[in-house]
Structure 1
Amino acid sequence: MKVLLIDDDEDDYIITEDVLDDIPFRSYELDWVSSYDDAIKIVHEGNHDVYIVDYLLGAKSGLDLIIECLEDHPFKPFILLTGQGDVKVDEQAMVAGASDYLVKGQITPQQLERAIRHSILHSKHLNHIQELNEKLEQRVQDRTRQLDNAIKTLQRSNEDLELQIFERKKAEDELLKSQAIYKIIAHNFPYGLIAVLDENLHYLFADGTGFKDLDLDADKIVGAKYFKFLSENDPSRAEEYQKCFKLAQEVIETGEEAIFEFKYKNLNYSTIIVPIKNSRQQTKQVLVVMLNVTQQAKAEEEIRKALTKERQLNELKSRFVSMASHEFRTPLSTIMSSVSLISRYNSPEQEEKKEKHIKRIKSSVNNLTQILNDFLSISKLEEGKAFVHRSTVDVDSYIDNLCDEMSSVTKQGQKIIISHEGESQFKTDPQILKNIIINLLSNAIKYSGIGSRIWISSSIDENELSVSIKDEGMGIPQKDQVHLFDRFFRAENAINIQGTGLGLNIVTKYLEMLSGSISFESKEDVGTTFSIKIPKKFIPNEKNTVDRG
């Protein structure tokens, strides 16, 4: 696979070449160009599979180069390189048309391989969508030409009938000939129905493959009012059908065609109504063509969903890279400094200082673990790989054990007060329940001060398990409470405290899996109480739920 690096720094070329060499089971040929203008020429030649562009290229930027190249080659895969993890630069890269975004100094072989593979696949998808759109446009043009020809044929037939209106027998013969033409057109018109209506919008003729789909009776259709049977068979859309009927009336009144869409049960139809004018240019009849476009509508919806999902995954990945690089820095720095200081405390009188730094290391490790757990949890939930495994737990002792686990990360003087009422046995997923309680309890510890109290109370009645966690912490500002369960959201007064903004979003998703709910009360500088409820009555999904007794 041929890769072109566009970078004015030769060191970056050497580093990139080393990273590519470390990618297993892949063979890459890396070329390098340092000049903006030379890069434009080489990209236009199209001899490379993917292009890695530095953000800074002398007087111009990598974004300028991407925009200029994509004007002539809209589907080429570009990956933007920058020296710092900046969400704004990431967003600018996506807007410019880059397929991915990497930070210098943090690129691993796995990240680079995944970015190259994703960029090429993304480019292929865009190209495929463009081809589908072109084919669809061509089909519409072909259908339009067919309809134009049919309309001209019908108008000529109608004019012939007008010329011989005084000869009844000849008029009847001409009508039969016209109906024969309609039938030929209708039988050769797939996925729809062709009909002729009089000036009162009663069927004079109808034929086509759409009778069965629209639940129409071919023997009763002639003489019936337009949309009568559809309104009777699908009364929930009677108002919509009445609007379509009025559009058909306007064609009779104005002599101008009408195009609209309507739904019948689970089908989508596109309709065109064309006036058929006599020799005096009066509209006494209309031609109605109803085409079943259900499959086309489904295909368009699937494409929209795929594009939306791809954008969401790109956004989540970008936010993950940015958040991880920021949140890992503080605990890692703390660990490094504490380890360095511990090595100097060798005398017994310095034991207290050593313990202080050991506790700092434990706290930092716990922060790193929590960050990783959050990202792993959100990944499983997004990919549908999280499953419910229910078993019976003793809630009272279960919560005691969780609090013991968390005691190592409490702040100086913090006290956890536990209480339980009612039954002790409850059937649920113990791991999911642990994730929920640990997340809420760690928040209470994190956002409460030294020497504060935390209450965790639980109860089981005939209907549900209730757990509440109350703290004396900083509280949540009123204006931030509406966004509290949004992904990556951090309250204004918590921005400088370690965290990912994923915890409460994960809690809500886990509670949904258990058919549970969450609520909270909070007052700034007073404290916060979170309450969860998990019902005993649980409707399991056979595909993702396992009972263990």
Structure 2
Amino acid sequence: MPFSNKLDQPHMVVRVLLIDDDEDDYIITEDILDDIPYRNYELDWVSNFDDAISIINHGVHDVYIVDYLLGAKSGLDLIIEALKDSKHKPFILLTGQGDVRVDEKAMTVGASDYLVKGQMTPQQLERAIRHSILHSRHLNHISELNEKLEQRVQDRTRQLDKAIKTLQRSNEDLELQISERKKAEEELLKSQAIYKIIAHNFPYGIIAVLDENLKYLFADGTGFKELELDAHKIIGAQFFQFLRKNDPSKAKEYDARFELAKSVIDSGEEQIFDFDYKDLNYSVIVVPIKNSRKQTKQVLVVMLNITQQRKAESEIKKSLQKERELSELKSRFVSMASHEFRTPLSTIMSSVSLISRYTSEEYHEKRNKHIKRIKSSVNNLTQILNDFLSISKLEEGKSLVHKSTIKVDNFIEGLCDEMSPVKKQGQKIIIKHTGDMLIKTDSQILKNIIINLLSNAIKYSGHGSKIWVDSCIDEKNLLITIKDEGMGIPEKDQVHLFDRFFRAENAMNIQGTGLGLNIVNKYLEMLHGKISFESIEDKGTTFSITIPKKIILDEKDTTHRG
């Protein structure tokens, strides 16, 4: 505990070390300390110089009482040795009576107080101990303050030296910068005159010069009007600032482009990037402008409106894609047709050959059987050709929407009658209609949709099965469902059902092109309709189509559909 705290609290023990080669002096000193009221002292004793120095260095005592006479060395020598570490310690020197010179010398070498041996009273000793402890504390405190002050002076001196050197360098740099700025300003004026001439004759965009913070120093060109920018207000503004404000939905995109432009200042390498503003497309090139010290302090920005080029590229890509699709369609059709045509043609050839032999009346039944086979094969060939012609027209945009009013119940009954010759033995088509009767739509397109779905229901259903055709006209739509009891569609194949040329796994041995449902889907798009289905393998399939009563025709509906 610090000395000051022990003096403030009388019950605390003050540890005292007596350094004296006479044991009697120890006993006398202990008696005197015991007579001091309101204080608690603990006295230790050491009789020789070296041991005393060792104990003092441990710093466990609060005050030291030193006899002037210590054998070969004196108490003054001990005080001098103990104070070599620069930290003051409370020493009280015991001297002989009337030896003033020793007393003065003791105070000079560092003793805090002195007492005359043999004349000490409890009051004198208590005062000397208290005075020595306080005096030592004050000296140490002053020493610490002096050290701190000296350190602060040294720190401030170093800081001042550093500041002076920095100021000198700054002055040198400033003079150099002033000189370079003057040259740069002269070059800038020349450059701006050139930029202005170029920008005025730049037809599709803006030419600008930005500083190292990407703020506009110069900007001109015809693109200001397109970008809704004010050429007079843009000087001093930051790159993309006004675009970000005018179109906040693309703030992140503009921030990313800003960072790309900023990287030119850091790297000195040009950057090329695109950005979109509302319905406009721009290509931007950012080029570093380096000063005489090869530093990039400015950049040249050229913004080119490429909206028309983008549109042209898009149209070209669409045309190329359509060409690829048509080419693929034709290639796949040739491959498919070569296979699909072979079977019905072979059937026709064999049946014709056999009919020529069945000339008499007794072969009437066999002739009818082969005539029926010929008709079925011709129907298959017709279906293949119809599918191809339909999808070809749709892809080439030659199918148009022509609206007319039809009576739905009669229309569907007529289509079902038309399909009667291709029904399998015992198959029955059940027709039901509810709601209004009349609707205005494209009758040929609607016929193609229903015939295709009805043909599939007949083809993929067995002998003696039933097919339900339900129709309904409500306030908004024409609804038609065609349900069969056929083989159904495997669940894993259902996701691809409307893909071109796709055939379900369980239908591979049944003739077909794989184009029918794809054509139905495209026809429904022309009428703004939708199709959905439910199917369970070996139990049947239900197709549902929805066609709005009011078809909104635009320019594409009358000139280019598909």
Report the equivalent of 1:436.
449
1:494 aligns with 2:513: no
AA aligned to 2:232 is: D
Q: Which of residues 381, 387, 408 is equivalent to 1:374?
A: 387
When residues 394 and 183 of structure 1 are mapped into structure 2, their CA distance, relative to the original with a 3 A threshold, is closer
Change (3 A) 1:172 1:494: closer
State whether structure 2 residue 289 is matched by structure 1 residue 276: yes
How far apart are 1:312 and its partner, in Å?
A: 1.8
CA shift in 2, pair 1:528/1:175, >3 Å: closer
Q: 1:303 aligns with which of 290, 306, 316?
A: 316
Cα shift readout 1:224-247 (whole Å, capped 9, x = no counterpart): 111111222333322211111122
Query: 1:270: how far off?
Result: 2.0
Indicate which of 442, 447, 472 corresponds to 1:459: 472
Whole-angstrom distance in 1 between the partners of 2:383 and 2:182: 90
Q: Partner of 2:542 in structure 1? A: 529
The equivalent residue for 2:74 is none
Structure 1 residue 520 displacement after superposition: 0.8
What secondary structure does 1:328 align onto?
helix
Deviation at 1:286, TM superposition (A): 2.2
Match of residue 410 from structure 1: 423
User: Is 1:294 aligned with 2:296?
Assistant: no
The answer (yes or no) to whether the contact 2:531–2:543 under 8 Å persists in 1 is: yes
- Name 2:409's counterpart in structure 1: 396
Whole-Å separation in 1 of the counterparts to 2:277 and 2:473 = 49
Counterpart of 1:206 in 2: which secondary structure? Answer: strand
The aligned runs of 1:85-124 (5 Å cut-off) are none
What do the CA deviations read for 1:185-230 (whole angstroms, capped 9, x no partner)? 4345453322222222211111233323322212111111111112
Is 1:518 the counterpart of 2:531 in the alignment? yes
CA separation in 1, counterparts of 2:364 and 2:454? 30
Q: Which residue of 1 aligns with 2:225?
A: 212
The amino acid of 2:216's aligned partner reads Y
Letter of the 2:522 partner, please give it: K
Residues 544 and 265 from structure 1, CA distance in 2 versus in 1: closer, same or farther, beyond 3 angstroms?
A: closer
Matched, 1:229 2:242: yes
User: Does the alignment pair 1:256 with 2:290?
Assistant: no
Cα deviation, 1:131-182, whole Å, max 9, x if unaligned, reads: xxxxxxxxxxxxxxxxxxxxxxxxxxxxxx9978249877755543343233
RMSD: 2.6
- Once the two structures are TM-superposed, the CA of residue 319 in structure 1 deviates from its matched residue by 1.5
Q: TM-score, normalised by structure 1?
A: 0.65
Deviates further, 338-347 or 212-221: 338-347
- Is 1:363–2:376 an aligned residue pair? yes
CA drift at 1:483: 0.8
Q: After alignment, is 346-355 or 454-463 more displaced?
A: 346-355
Do 1:521 and 1:530's aligned partners in 2 also have CA atoms closer than 8 Å? Answer: yes
User: Which of 344, 351, 374 is the aligned partner of 2:364?
Assistant: 351
Alignment of 1:31-180 (within 5 A): 165-166=178-179, 173=186, 175-180=188-193
State which of 444, 466, 483 in structure 2 corresponds to 1:470: 483
Identity, % of aligned positions = 78
What are the superposed Cα offsets for residues 120-141 of structure 1, whole Å, 9 maximum, x if unpaired? xxxxxxxxxxxxxxxxxxxxxx
Q: Which protein has the larger Cα radius of gyration, Structure 1 or Structure 2?
A: 2
| TM-superposition CA deviations, 1:511-542 (whole Å, max 9, x none) | 11112111111111111111111121221236
**What TM-score do you get using the length of structure 2 for normalisation?**
0.64
Distance 1:317 1:167 in 2: 71
Residue 256 of structure 2, aligned match among 232, 236, 243: 243
Contact 1:487 1:502 in 2 (8 A): yes
Residue of structure 2 in register with 1:13 after alignment:
none
Q: Does 1:285 align with 2:287?
A: no
SS at match of 1:388: coil
Aligned residue type for 1:322:
S
Q: Give yes or no for contact 1:162–1:278 (8 Å, CA) kept in 2.
A: no
Mapped to 2, the partners of 1:189 and 1:463 lie a distance apart of 55
| Alignment size in residue pairs | 386
SS of 1:511's equivalent in the other structure is: helix
Aligned to 1:330: 343
Q: Is the 8 A contact 2:347 2:377 kept in 1?
A: yes
Residue 359 of structure 1, CA deviation: 1.6
8 Å CA contact 1:362, 1:409 repeated in 2: no
Unaligned runs of 5+ in 2: 1-173
Structure 1, unpaired ranges of 5+: 1-160
**Cα offset for 1:392?**
2.0
Deviates more, 1:259-268 or 1:429-438: 259-268
**Distance verdict in 2 for CA 1:166–1:514, change over 3 Å:** closer
Q: Go from structure 1 to structure 2 and tell me whether the alpha carbon gap of 1:364 and 1:162 turns closer, same or farther (over 3 Å shift).
A: farther
- Aligned equivalents of 1:207, 1:422: Cα separation in 2: 67
Q: Shift of residue 415 of structure 1?
A: 1.4
- State the one-letter code of the partner of 2:541: T
Work out whether residues 164 and 170 of structure 1, in 8 Å CA contact, stay in contact via their aligned partners in 2: no
Contact 1:165 1:171 in 2 (8 A): no
Partners in 1 of 2:544 and 2:441 — Cα distance?
Answer: 17
Task: Summarize deviations over 1:48-106 as a string: whole Å, max 9, x none.
Answer: xxxxxxxxxxxxxxxxxxxxxxxxxxxxxxxxxxxxxxxxxxxxxxxxxxxxxxxxxxx
Distance in 2, matches of 1:345 and 1:520, equals 47
Alpha-carbon separation, structure 1, partners of 2:412 and 2:308: 53
Q: 1:286 to 1:491 in 2, by over 3 A?
A: same
Deviation for aligned residue 1:408: 0.8
Check 1:492–1:213 CA distance in 2 against 1; reply closer, same or farther (3 A cut). same
Does the Cα contact within 8 Å between 2:484 and 2:541 map onto a contact in 1? yes
- Letter of the structure 2 residue corresponding to residue 460 of structure 1: I
